[in-house]
Structure 1
């Protein structure tokens, strides 16, 4: 009985410590009173836990002033320097900051309008970086590298957008030059599926699989190939662009200039337009939410998309022979409405008598893996560790 009580107390203490970490990661450095308000814990409990975490080297404290009174500001301890991961999505902007222990120090995001323009978006991105760094009581000089992740093919070798026309208005924008004006550290560009796969390999469901295929399924489809524990980019960094595999030779013209690419049939506009007569004007988020709630029309649209995507994934797996397939992106949040027909579509086209069938798994962090992976890649590229890619 005594052991059970001790175990319960330990579990409760660990859960409370996790609440403190989550609050500081989300809101930045906070006083102990603010931590108590954010977590619902008593100030006495917060004080005891903070003292223990400081002794363990996980938190740091500094004196500050709040409302004219002295207070203790609590922040997550940093090791050596910080890496910044920035994700410029089609309708949102997010940032993740990690240190050399791969600990998440902060994660913030904010919405962007559809069709956002480079000038205003880059200004907002720069502001978000400064605000987030300040929120963890760090300085800009501590940044060792910045990785910017974009929803478009990236020419890794030349660090520029690799296929023109996909991310409209951004083709001639020198993103790296813009950030180099503000930061005295290396700046990198990468594709969103690649940085998501990096996060999965280091802290996600891919951690035990040196060979896996990651698929980013949402407003368009992208993929990333991990081979022998390293991200495979190909000669120019364009490996994994399965959204531009042709699925209909007489289909619509794709933004890349080819006809009938997978991206022309699995994208927000195409998926939601099918429902315009019965559901009116809806977004991809609306479609996914309604599918989760059991709407039969939305579930059918998502199921049909899954079959298309599964067919291309199976073709890729025949060539790559991965241990597992990891599914991320917004469509993965539809649950079985997307994942079950996807599995059936893939398995129908793979070797039926394979001794070791390919595992198909969902990402446990589809909302954050792109940005987290960018931050982890920034840290790794800035260190003396082996590079995150294999040519």
Structure 2
């Protein structure tokens, strides 16, 4: 899991909320615990824990009872009901913000998404998301103090050492944004992660392939990224920069990529490239949803664009498959509704460039979670950080 740096306290109210979440997370993962043990587990002072526990008792989130610990009188703190605690997942896309609120037993109780204009700044997006968070919690009847944390997905690489979005993000406005900045906006603990990594976590948690030991999740969107699940756990690599499949060279003398190389997969198979080609072919502006509509309607130009892109994606996936021999490869992103129309060319690329035995034994499927995957993954990330794992049937 990603490393979360020490947060900047910011305002006193933000610090109090942060400390409340730390105590709630400890109670969720450890069960009934003495105040002294909570202080040791969280690093908070005994006085701070005592004051916060009083507030949580007043809000009906916890109860206290006398007990003994090491032969001394102590105060045992228990959650009144884990049903009251929730996690939040937020996904930032090129033109949207999506939020999901989930209970500790992995039930979605709140969900919203809004469209935002192209070229938005990170500060603008965070303001929109903060308001969306407030309204979604209100609609779900959840107190802010019951939120264990917020899992935030952005379309770009995250340096797990510092919790910072680094160069290479699809949204350059996010480069340099840190987990501390996001926490100050939400006044809640935040876990910042790459969107494809969250998509992989969602598929291995919420999807029909939950429990599959080795999964590769491929998000085909404005950028193209891969999330990896090894032995049931996310694999983030040395500093968190795994899965940059979009910068796999496909054509040596191809278009110049934003990463500085030429002919990368993103320059031939991203939805941005598809939109550009179809907009010129149709002589009118096209959006991602138009690609899906045109392909399903049988438009030959759209079908050809998707077919070429899918084959290129399959070629790049083959390199991953040859390296890690996954059980399942799941394709997600905004084109998921195309189903076999996108999977078929990806499969041909995989068959052409992967070892035959790997092709025969690897399952290639379309995501069943669609565009919800990344936000669902954010919610799952928070729960797993709190020590709460789903019960798989």
Q: TM-score range by the shorter chain?
A: 0.7 to 0.9
Equivalent residue in structure 2 for 1:305, among 303, 306, 309: 309
Aligned-residue CA RMSD in angstroms?
2.0
Change (3 A) 1:114 1:262: same
**More displaced stretch, 152-161 vs 355-364:** 355-364
Summarize the alignment of residues 74-85 of structure 1 with structure 2, pairs less than 5 Å apart: 79-85=83-89
- TM-superposed CA distance for 1:297, in Å, is 0.9
**More displaced stretch, 267-276 vs 87-96:** 267-276
Match of 1:131 in 2: 135
Match of 1:146 in 2: 150
Equivalent residue in structure 2 for 1:195, among 183, 195, 198: 198
Tell whether the 8 Å contact from 2:162 to 2:178 is kept in structure 1 after alignment.
no
- TM-superposed CA distance for 1:162, in Å, is 3.0
Q: Name the SS of the counterpart of 1:317 in structure 2.
A: helix
Unaligned runs of 5+ in 1: 1-76, 387-391
Q: Name the SS of the counterpart of 1:122 in structure 2.
A: helix
Change (3 A) 1:321 1:199: same
Match of 2:214 in 1: 211
Q: Name the SS of the counterpart of 1:224 in structure 2.
A: strand
Match of 1:272 in 2: 275
Alignment of 1:105 onto 2:92: no
- TM-superposed CA distance for 1:187, in Å, is 1.0
- TM-superposed CA distance for 1:354, in Å, is 5.2
Tell whether the 8 Å contact from 2:250 to 2:265 is kept in structure 1 after alignment.
yes
Match of 1:186 in 2: 189
Summarize the alignment of residues 320-331 of structure 1 with structure 2, pairs less than 5 Å apart: 320-331=324-335
Alignment of 1:380 onto 2:384: yes
- TM-superposed CA distance for 1:206, in Å, is 2.3
TM-score by length of 1: 0.75
- TM-superposed CA distance for 1:121, in Å, is 1.3
Match of 2:161 in 1: 157
- TM-superposed CA distance for 1:178, in Å, is 4.0
Tell whether the 8 Å contact from 2:246 to 2:265 is kept in structure 1 after alignment.
yes
Q: Name the SS of the counterpart of 1:125 in structure 2.
A: helix
Q: Name the SS of the counterpart of 2:298 in structure 1.
A: coil
Query: C-alpha distance in 2, partners of 1:165/1:354?
Result: 31
- TM-superposed CA distance for 1:359, in Å, is 0.8
Q: Name the SS of the counterpart of 2:172 in structure 1.
A: coil
Change (3 A) 1:132 1:356: same
Tell whether the 8 Å contact from 1:292 to 1:335 is kept in structure 2 after alignment.
no
Q: Name the SS of the counterpart of 1:325 in structure 2.
A: strand
Query: C-alpha distance in 2, partners of 1:354/1:188?
Result: 35
Tell whether the 8 Å contact from 1:243 to 1:261 is kept in structure 2 after alignment.
yes
Tell whether the 8 Å contact from 1:85 to 1:148 is kept in structure 2 after alignment.
yes
Q: Name the SS of the counterpart of 1:190 in structure 2.
A: strand
- Between the two proteins, the alignment pairs up a number of residues equal to 309
Query: C-alpha distance in 1, partners of 2:167/2:389?
Result: 30
TM-score by length of 2: 0.74
Change (3 A) 1:356 1:253: closer
Tell whether the 8 Å contact from 2:156 to 2:169 is kept in structure 1 after alignment.
no
Match of 2:11 in 1: none
- TM-superposed CA distance for 1:268, in Å, is 3.1
Please list the CA deviations of residues 218-249 of structure 1 after superposition, one character each: whole Å capped at 9, or x if unmatched: 22211111111111000011111101111122
- After the TM superposition, list the runs of 4 or more consecutive aligned residues in structure 1 that deviate by more than 4 angstroms: 353-356
Q: Name the SS of the counterpart of 2:156 in structure 1.
A: coil
Match of 1:119 in 2: 123
Match of 1:249 in 2: 252
Query: C-alpha distance in 2, partners of 1:307/1:298?
Result: 14
